[in-house]
Amino acid sequence: MASTSRNESDGDNEPQEEEFERFDDFTLASSWERFISDIEAVCRQWMADGPKNLLKKGAVHLGPSMNLYKVKSELKHALKSYCMEYHFESNSDGKIADWDWSLHDLQLCFGVKDFLVIAPQSASGVILDAPESSKLLSAVAIALSNCSSMWPAFVPVHDPSKKSYIGIQSMGTIFTRRFEADHISSQVPVKLMHLEGLFELFVSKFAYSTLDFSAHFFQVHFTMKLTYKTISHDDDDATRGVDAEFVESGGSPKGDTHTRAQWDDDCPWSEWYSAEDPVRGIELVTIWTGKMVESSSEMAELENASPHEAEKWILCPNISSTISDGSRANTVGFASQLSLLVDALNMSFEAQFMEDFVSVEKPGMDNLKSSMVVPPPSVVDRLLKELFQDGFKLSGFRKAEHKNSRFIKGAPLESLFAQYCLSSLWLGNCNIRAIASFWIEFVREVRWCWEESQTLPRMPGSGSIDLSTCLINQKLQMLAICIEKKQQLNEEYHDCIGSEDGHSAVMENDQVADDSWKTPDPGEYSDEKCDSPPTPTNFHNSATSGPRYGTKAGDVTPSSDSKSSDYIRRGSAGVVGPMMLLKSHQSMHAPFTQEAPLMTEDMHEERLQAVDAFGDSFSFSAQLEKEILFSDMSAFKAANPEAVFEDFIRWHSPGDWETDDTLKSEPSSGFASVSSKDDWPPRGRLSQRMSERGNLWRKIWNDAPSLPASEQKPLLDPHREAEKILHYLETIRPHQLLEQMVCTSFRAAADTLNQTSFGGLKQMQTKIDQLYLTMASMLRPLQANRLSAGSEGIEDLRRISVVFGHVEKLLTIAASLHRKFLQAPSMSEAIFTSYYDFYSKRMGTGSVEENGDMEFSMKRQVRNHERQIVSSMFTPPTVNQSWRKVLSMGNLLNGHEPIVREIIFSKRDRVSGNHYASHTPRGYNKEIETYRMYISGTSNDLRVALSVASCD
């Protein structure tokens, strides 16, 4: 076109130039037009893609509680950068509900569904200049009009904290909806704190200002949501900082360190630490829906209505974010301390003895001294007094144990070593130096108990050694029994001094007390013999063996056939059924015998190793049992002066007495009653092993004197065994001590938490069962001494401490919910199930806990019969809670005003034949929401969002 003009006008140049200028002006576009074109292009692309393709292209999900996604695009205009975001739902069908919990803030304020937000890319993200905001909104409106799009568009304005917006939406060729939202953060007019004033505010937007609103009636749709919140237990907390300072300085939280009642005072872990209440309170949302209000007087009446009149009650638990997130910061619990104990175990391989960690002269320990603090002696002394306090009585080791607790080779919860381990967790920061100094003083206190014959607290002084526990606990139990024996010897010694009969015996030598030992009554001992040494088959039959205890004063009786002193019966426990002695035709008496010597696990292993070295297991076992046999035979001879070796075998090991099966009249056992004189003596013989030449049992029988158990040397030498135990405790290797401490601490901490009352929450019980099995599996390498510094086993222990922390958090929440919903267990179960499903996705098993930005949100509708229970949780505010006495909003619930009041007013009109659309097409008769106002506020702030539809 330009070339044609040039050829036709060669002689006249001016008309050609004017034509070119006019053409250039027509084709050039301004920056404003190009900006609108860019917005239009982006919007057309989003409209063409649709929600499904936008999701495939990476639309961002705004949150788990929202069904809302967004895409964004960057735009530039006049040296400024803008970001335009399109918010859409994956399913765009249906209408926006007024109080849908998944709504975006703009959806709730203005009642829109999909929308655009365009804002500058600046630090504030808002437009402070009013002309600029209007110009930007106009550009978006023109672009959307060119696209024939009905998306509403919003621009943030004013201060970011006010959440203020202006917006516009084209509703076709007839109507346009405009939006505006603003916020008052202080000095809210008193009138706008009440429903009556808010109603008149809404009416003033469409009624003439000269009208008397109280005298006119308007058809206004009204819905309201009131949110109430219980007062948190920690609102007036003034002691938590004091407790934290005390523990950090090296103290233990055990004992009465609280100055006021805590929520978990009756929880089992409160002896060691106070946990933050994870359920900070509950929020109750009451909703009034579907009301038509005509006058401000109706609103005044509604403000005085009880929340019980609301159509819906919805419960929202407020769970602390420090529980939900994965961070360990500012958390107090067993898990954090167990992790520190694992670190101490990792460092325990650096020294040979516990004293090396506290010695100032030990080379190579300078790095430990600078980073690890030894607690002051006063703190250690106080803990030792609590551990070794007088008058402490055990309530039963197995009472608090879980069914899987015995799979962990530790110490029972109430035992002395378990309490030492738990105290060590809270001593300072649980470092290796603090543990070493505490252990040294602990062993000194144990030695003092032995030397002063003081009962070892928290340990049973009788019974069998529980080999399922750790070795230190076995040693302490053996020492407690030795102290009990020593006390008995001391009592007998003083009795001998005070009696004339025993005066000469006492003067012989100091060893008489050891040789005249007398065991306690049989009621003090357990029938369980889990610690008995290995014996061959039929070596000792408990069904026929006599009781093992000393003689009484009346046990010395003369034999009926002889009056000689050699035939005086001593130490008899009674007649053994119909059994008769083979030679004298006298009734057989069972003797009082000594208890078999108790042995710890390492003593059993030593015997087994000796058996393997000897070769002949039976012969060597018999040799090892020589002292027991010698004692039993001596007691049997004393109780049966005319007995022979065969009589002892018939009583002690009836399996080694063989009867003649051809004699039918003879009893199968080979025994005869007193009246069967014709069948006397019973026909039978010793077994082959008992009748062999040089049989060890017969040799022992021939050498054994006739002595009752009360006059025999005790099988257990309490002095020798006690010194061996104390030597073991004083010279134990650090890593051996820490290995047993780790096992015991995990077990004792789990047993402590297992006592928590949390109702019938099946998920929680299953999680605790799994924890015990996991601990038993991952702690097993500690029992085999297969660990080394920095090994994979140390990392496994760190992982199990993380798992322990997850279970501890869940248990704390379960306990808090159980206490708050005692009268409504179904609500407690529903809340915990919802939280468990939320938290289980975040439970990692790595050495570093998983972090997440998601927040727990759970809404549960309260049934009518549950309303009274929920209402009772809102106890009336006390005098000390004067800061809550701002009762100005009405609708009180047990003295509590709503913390937030949200209201939606709306007015609907038909567009045909009214002033909104005087030129509407014929037949167009549709009701639309011409005015809508969302109000959210308290007595301190107020937020108002208004949308108005008009015909422009």
CB atoms within 10 A of CB 139: 23
pLDDT given at position 373: 82
Q: What percentage of residues in the chain have a pLDDT greater than 90?
A: 41
Contact 239, 258 (CB under 8 A): yes
d(CA 460, CA 618): 33
pLDDT given at position 520: 36
d(CA 449, CA 476): 11
Give the pLDDT mean for 513-538.
Answer: 35
pLDDT given at position 243: 40
Contact 849, 328 (CB under 8 A): yes
Who's near 613: CB < 8 A, 6+ residues apart?
Answer: none
pLDDT in tens, 105-140: 999 999 999 999 999 888 788 877 788 889 999 999
> Across 64-78, 165-179, 654-668, 764-778, which has the greatest mean pLDDT?
764-778
pLDDT band at 102 (very low <50, low <70, confident <90, very high): confident
pLDDT in tens, 369-389: 556 788 899 999 999 999 998
> Which of 515-519, 711-715, 934-938 has the lowest average pLDDT?
515-519
Q: Cis peptide before 681, with omega less than 30 degrees from 0? A: yes
Instruction: Give the mean pLDDT of the chain.
Output: 79
Higher pLDDT pick, 206 / 632? 632
Comparing CA positions, the residue from 233, 272, 278, 242 lying closest to residue 255 is 272
Using the predicted structure, report yes or no on whether residue 517 has a pLDDT greater than 70: no
Give the pLDDT mean for 816-831.
Answer: 91
pLDDT band at 616 (very low <50, low <70, confident <90, very high): low
DSSP codes, 206-258: TS-TTS-GGGS---EEEEEEEEEEPPPTTTT--SHHHHHHHHHTT----SS--
Using the predicted structure, report yes or no on whether residue 324 has a pLDDT greater than 70: no
HEC profile of 820-831 = HCCCCHHHHHHH
pLDDT given at position 846: 45
**Is the pTM of the predicted complex or chain greater than 0.85?**
no
pLDDT given at position 321: 76
d(CA 470, CA 409): 5
d(CA 687, CA 38): 109
Q: Give the DSSP H/E element, type plus range, for residue 321.
A: helix 321-324
> Across 15-29, 64-78, 754-768, which has the greatest mean pLDDT?
754-768
Give the pLDDT mean for 243-270.
Answer: 61
Using the predicted structure, report yes or no on whether residue 530 has a pLDDT greater than 80: no
Residues forming beta bridges with residue 312, ordered by sequence position: 287
> Across 207-216, 349-358, 467-476, 550-559, which has the greatest mean pLDDT?
467-476
d(CA 673, CA 490): 45
Contact 562, 640 (CB under 8 A): no
d(CA 72, CA 511): 95
Using the predicted structure, report yes or no on whether residue 471 has a pLDDT greater than 80: yes
Q: Among positive and negative, which fits the CA dihedral 730, 734, 740, 742?
A: positive
- Rounded to 5°, angle at Cα 621 from 616 and 622: 105
> Across 5-14, 256-265, 420-429, 555-564, which has the greatest mean pLDDT?
420-429
Residue 840 has which token pair?
Answer: 């289980």
pLDDT given at position 258: 43
pLDDT in tens, 192-249: 888 998 998 999 888 766 565 555 678 899 999 999 998 765 554 433 443 444 344 4
pLDDT in tens, 866-917: 999 999 989 887 766 544 455 567 888 988 889 899 999 999 887 654 444 4
Give the pLDDT mean for 679-707.
Answer: 85
pLDDT given at position 910: 73
Give the pLDDT mean for 930-942.
Answer: 88
> Across 260-264, 924-928, 943-947, which has the greatest mean pLDDT?
943-947
Comparing CA positions, the residue from 818, 827, 902, 817 lying closest to residue 228 is 902
Using the predicted structure, report yes or no on whether residue 676 has a pLDDT greater than 70: no
Using the predicted structure, report yes or no on whether residue 834 has a pLDDT greater than 80: yes
pLDDT band at 184 (very low <50, low <70, confident <90, very high): confident
pLDDT band at 159 (very low <50, low <70, confident <90, very high): confident
Comparing CA positions, the residue from 869, 711, 909 lying closest to residue 315 is 869
CA dihedral 762, 763, 769, 774 (to 10 degrees): 170
